[in-house]
Amino acid sequence: VSGAKKAKTDKDDNNTNGLATCRMLLAELEAHQDAWPFLTPVNHKAVPGYRKVIKKPMDFSTIREKLTNNQYLNLETFIVDVNLVFENCERFNEDDSEIGRAGHRMRSFFDKRWTELLK
Ligand SMILES: Cc1ncccc1N[C@@H](C)c1ccc2c(c1)OCCCO2
């Protein structure tokens, strides 16, 4: 019947809500040589003060878990969590430190990649 609404399934729209783009971007972040401070949650026992200063911890493995559990509505909610990783880094680490510099390099890499992919 013409006009009948087709049931929407993921396979129909190859990038529903930009989730394929999220998977691509996260894979690139995880593989980046400067990702090492951000791959796993900061262990607050190994990093004095971290739990007090950083109210919303975030890291790439947690983002991976959320993506796997379908907890991101769209690319925007994914970008919020990625940016949280970099905001936490800038809050806790000196710009002129190993981790601080890695955070700045990862942030500019991410900004460049998602704007390229969204064009
Ligand atoms: C992103 C971030 N911000 C502030 C502090 C740490 C971190 N990352 C964690 C994974 C980390 C990186 C380096 C570390 C470390 C832990 O263990 C304490 C001993 C030094 O080596």
pTM of the predicted model as reported, rounded to 2 decimal places: 0.90
Write the single-letter amino acid at 77.
T
**Which ipTM was obtained for this model?**
0.96
**Nearest residue (CA) to ligand 1, atom 3:** 89
| 57 HSE (CA, 13 A, CB side) | 17
Contacts of 108 (CB under 8 A, 6+ apart): none
d(CA 77, CA 32): 22
Spatial contact of 64 and 22, defined as CB atoms under 8 Å apart = no
pLDDT in tens, 87-97: 999 999 999 99
Q: How far is the CA of 78 from the centre of ligand 1 (A)?
A: 23
Ligand 1 mutation pick, 99, 101, 106, 107, max ligand atoms within 8 A of CB? 99
pLDDT in tens, 70-79: 999 999 999 9
Ligand 1 mutation pick, 38, 42, 98, max ligand atoms within 8 A of CB? 42
pLDDT bin (cut points 50, 70, 90) of residue 119 is confident
DSSP characters for the chain? -TTPPPPP-TTTSTTGGGHHHHHHHHHHHHHSTT-GGGSS---TTTSTTHHHH-SS---HHHHHHHHHTT---SHHHHHHHHHHHHHHHHHHS-TTSHHHHHHHHHHHHHHHHHHHHH-
Q: Is the CB of 4 under 6 A from ligand 1?
A: no
pLDDT in tens, 13-31: 678 789 999 999 999 999 9
**Nearest residue (CA) to ligand 1, atom 17:** 46
Q: Is the CB of 42 under 6 A from ligand 1?
A: yes
pLDDT in tens, 5-14: 766 554 556 7
The tokens of 30 are what? Answer: 């995880």
